[in-house]
Structure 1
Amino acid sequence: MYHDTSWLDWPFFDDAHRRLARDLDVWCSQADLEGMDFSDLNATCRKLVGELGEAGWLGYCVPAGEQGVLGGKLPDIDSRSLCILRETLGRYHALADFSFAMQGLGSGALTLAGTDAQKRQYLPPTASGKAIAAFALSEPEAGSDVAALSCAAVRDGDDYILNGRKTWISNGGLADYYCVFVRTDPEAGSRGISAFVIEAGTPGFDIEETLDVMSPHPLATLRFSDCRIPASQMIGELNQGFKLAMRTLDIFRCSVAAAALGFARRALAEGLAHARERKMFGQTLADFQLTQAAFGDIATEIDQSALLTYRAAWTRDVLRKPSTAPTAMAKMASTESAQWVIDRVLQMFGGQGVRSNTPVERLYRDIRALRIYEGATEVQKLIIAREVLKAAG
C-alpha cells in the first residue's frame, strides 16, 4: 500500500527521527493491529499498552532521568518523536495511537512537576507498559472552560478530601493511576486549581459510568466521595494546577495533529488502492479527471498539515521558543483537514465506504473526536487570535 516517506527528508528531523519512523513502521506492519478484539475493550487496550511498552515505544512518553532511572529513551520529551510515533501508529490503527498517547498525556503532569519520589514511583512502569495512566481534567460543566472546575479538594491535616466528578476521562476504569485537577481555592478561578496523583482503588474513588463513543476506546465518568489522599500526592505547587494542565496540553496537543495526519495518510493510501482497481465505464476510477483532481487536493492538504505539525514540534524542540500559536494552528488545520480528506476518500468508495468496520469507515469515525479533544477547533482559533494580538502589541 502506498506510503510517502519523502517528508522524512525535511530539515525538521535528524537521523534518529528517521530511524524511529522506519523502525516503528516495521513493527506496526508485523503487529496484528487490524485484527484487534473489541469485545473486551479494556483487555485489548491493556494488551496494546503492554506490547508498546515491551517494544520500547512508550519510552518516548517519559524522560530518561539520571542514568535512565525513569525509563525514558531521551533526556527530555521530544515533540518530533511523539509526532512521528502518533502519525505512524495512527496510520495503522486509532486504538494503537490512543494507547500510546494516553501514556504520555496521563503522566505528563508528573514529568513536568512531580517530585523525585513521584517520578520514580510512576514513570518507570508507565514507560514499560506495566502501569496505565490517565489525565482527568474535564467535568460535566467544565470542558473548554477549565476555570469552571467544581470538583474540589479540602485540606484536612496531612490529607486532602476530594468530592466531585470528572467526565470524558480517557482510560477511565482502565488506568492504574490518574493525574486529577481539582479546585483547592473556591474563590480564585483558574488560580485556585491543584493537581493530584490518585491511584485506582483508593477508597472514595469510583467509576460512576463508562461511556460508549463512535470510535471505541476506554472512557468514563469518575466520582470522588470523601476521597481522602495524602497531601504528598499533590503534583507541583498548591493552586498552580491550571498552569500545569496547560503546559501538559501544550506538549501533547501537537501530537494530536500528527495522529490526524496519520489518519489522513491512511485514507489516501486506501483511496489510491481503490481508485486504481475500481472499474467504471471501461476504465478505472483513477482515470477520471475528477478523481485525479481530488487526489491533488488531498495530497496538498496532507503536506500542508505535515508542515504545520512538524514546524510546531521543531519550534519547541530546537528553537526552544513558545509554540502555543504554531501548535494551535497545527492542531486546528490538521484535524479539520483530515476530516475533509477522509470524507472525500469515503465518497470514492460509494456504498462500500459506509460498510461497517472497513478501514475507511473506521477512519471516518476515528477522526471526529480529534476536532474536539485537547482543545476544540473553536478554542484553537481563539488561542491563535490571542497570540497574534499579543505579538502585535
Structure 2
Amino acid sequence: MPAFSLDPPQSAWCAELRALAAERLRPLAEKGEPGHVNRALVAELGQLGLLERLFTSGAVDLCLMRESLAHACTEAETALALQGLGAHPVHAHGTPAQRERWLPRVADGTAIAAFALSEPAAGSDAAALELRAEAGASEPVAEPDGGTRWRLTGEKCWISNAPEADFYTVFARTTPGAGARGVTAFLVPADRPGLTGTGLDMLSPHPIGTLSFDAVPVTADDVLGEVDRGFRVAMGTLNLFRPSVGAFAVGMAQAALDATLAHTDQREAFGGKLKDLQSVAHQVAEMALRTEAARLMVYAAATAYDERAADVPKRAAMAKLLATETAQYVVDQAVQLHGARALRRGHLLEHLYREVRAPRIYEGASEVQRGIIAKELYATREAAQ
C-alpha cells in the first residue's frame, strides 16, 4: 500500500470545501433546530454538488469531503454522511426503478435517506436483529404477478434521521434462526402504512429516533440485493463508511488542534505564553502526532477500499477505531488546555466535545472494531498455514 499524500488538486479542493463550509453551510446549520433534519442545509449540499459526489466518487474522495466539512461545520458533514449511508445500499444494490426514483432526489437534497439497522436489543450484535418480515406464517406469500410480499413487524432504534427521513434502508429477518444469513434489506418509503417513529433527545445534535413497524407491507420490488443476503448489503455499506467516520473524527481533531495552537500561542500565563511551557508544548505535539497517525490510517483504508484490496474489513475497522479514539483524546486535551472558557455554551470546543463522543459507538462501537480486527488477523493466519 503506497503512502498517502494529497496532490495539489486534492489540496485545493479541500481548501475550497472548508471555505464553503464556513461561508455557506455553517450559517444554515446555525439556523437549524437540534434533533431535527435541517432540510435547508441538505438542499444546499445538493446545490453545491456534494451529495451527487456520494455516488460518483470513491472512498478517498468521501473521506476528503467528510474531513474538510467537519473541520468547519460538523452539522454539514453529518448531513452529507447520513444521506450517503442511507442511500448507498440503493446505489449499490437497488433495481433500476429504485435508483431512478430515489437517487436523483437524494443527490439534489430533496429526499432524506436513513439507514435502519440497529434495534433495542441488537445494536453491536447486528446479526441478532429481530424485526420480522413475514406473511401470516414465516414464509413469504406469492402474489398473482409472481412477486413476493411480506409484512414488517418490530422496532428499530438509534436510527439517524428518523423519524423525519423520506425513505429507509431497513434490515429485517426473513428466515428465523439463520443469524446473519437470514436477513434481507428493504427500501421502505416513509409513507408506508404502519410505519411510525419518535425522535430521541440525544447528546449529539443531529436527528436520531426510533421506528415502529406494525405490519408494514413490502414486496419483492422493495428488496435491495437478494433475499436473505441483506447482511452483505449492511456490511458492504459499513466497510465504505467506517473509514469516512474516521475522516469525520480527524476533521474534528484537526479543528481542536488548530484552536489549541492559536490559544496557546496567544494566552499569557506564568510570565509568558502558554506555548513556552514545556508541558503544554509536549501535549500539543502529542495531539498533532496522534491526529496525523489517524489521518494516515484513514486514507490507507480508503485507498484499500478503492483498490478492492482483500483486507478492507480489517483496515476499515482499524481506521475507525484509531481515528475516533484519537479525536476523543485530542478534543479532551484541547478543552483542558483552554480551561473553563471551552466549556461555555457556544464555544467551538464545547460543540466538539458533544459531537466527538458518538462516533466511538455508532457504525460499530470501538469494542466491535477490535473484535473485527482480531477475527481478520486470525483468519489471515489460518489461511497462510
Shorter-chain TM-score bucket reads over 0.9
- Compared with structure 1, are the counterparts of its residues 378 and 36 closer, same or farther at alpha carbon in structure 2 (3 Å cutoff)? same
TM-score (norm 2): 0.92
Note the 1:125-136 alignment, pairs <5 A. Answer: 125-136=105-116
Greater alpha carbon shift after TM alignment, 379-388 vs 321-330:
321-330
Structure 1 residue 377 and structure 2 residue 366: aligned?
yes
- Tell me the residue number matched to 2:265: 276
SS in 2 for 1:175: coil
CA distance in 2, matches of 1:323, 1:297: 28
Structure 1 residue 145 and structure 2 residue 125: aligned?
yes
Kindly indicate whether the alpha-carbon contact (under 8 Å) linking 1:12 and 1:311 is maintained by their aligned counterparts in 2. Answer: no
SS in 2 for 1:194: strand
Q: Given the alignment, which residue of 169, 183, 188 partners 1:198?
A: 188
Q: Given the alignment, which residue of 322, 327, 332 partners 1:338?
A: 327
- Tell me the residue number matched to 1:217: 206
Equivalences, count: 369
Kindly indicate whether the alpha-carbon contact (under 8 Å) linking 1:12 and 1:314 is maintained by their aligned counterparts in 2. Answer: no
CA distance in 1, matches of 2:215, 2:22: 47
- Tell me the residue number matched to 1:58: 51
- Tell me the residue number matched to 2:179: 189
For structure 2, the residue ranges without an aligned partner over 5 or more in a row are 135-139, 144-148
**One-letter amino acid matched to 1:383:** I
- Tell me the residue number matched to 1:123: 103
CA distance in 2, matches of 1:18, 1:321: 29
- Tell me the residue number matched to 1:164: 154
- Compared with structure 1, are the counterparts of its residues 53 and 318 closer, same or farther at alpha carbon in structure 2 (3 Å cutoff)? same
TM-score (norm 1): 0.90
SS in 2 for 1:47: helix
Report the CA distance between 1:213 and its aligned residue: 1.1
Q: Given the alignment, which residue of 16, 20, 27 partners 1:23?
A: 16
SS in 2 for 1:36: helix
CA distance in 2, matches of 1:82, 1:32: 18
- Tell me the residue number matched to 2:163: 173
- Tell me the residue number matched to 1:67: none
Identity %: 40
- Compared with structure 1, are the counterparts of its residues 304 and 352 closer, same or farther at alpha carbon in structure 2 (3 Å cutoff)? same
Report the CA distance between 1:18 and its aligned residue: 3.3
- Compared with structure 1, are the counterparts of its residues 321 and 14 closer, same or farther at alpha carbon in structure 2 (3 Å cutoff)? farther
CA distance in 2, matches of 1:16, 1:324: 29
Q: Given the alignment, which residue of 292, 297, 300 partners 2:281?
A: 292
CA distance in 2, matches of 1:310, 1:87: 11
Structure 1 residue 359 and structure 2 residue 339: aligned?
no
CA distance in 2, matches of 1:177, 1:357: 33
**One-letter amino acid matched to 1:197:** L
**One-letter amino acid matched to 1:181:** F
Report the CA distance between 1:319 and its aligned residue: 5.7
**One-letter amino acid matched to 1:218:** P
**One-letter amino acid matched to 2:21:** C
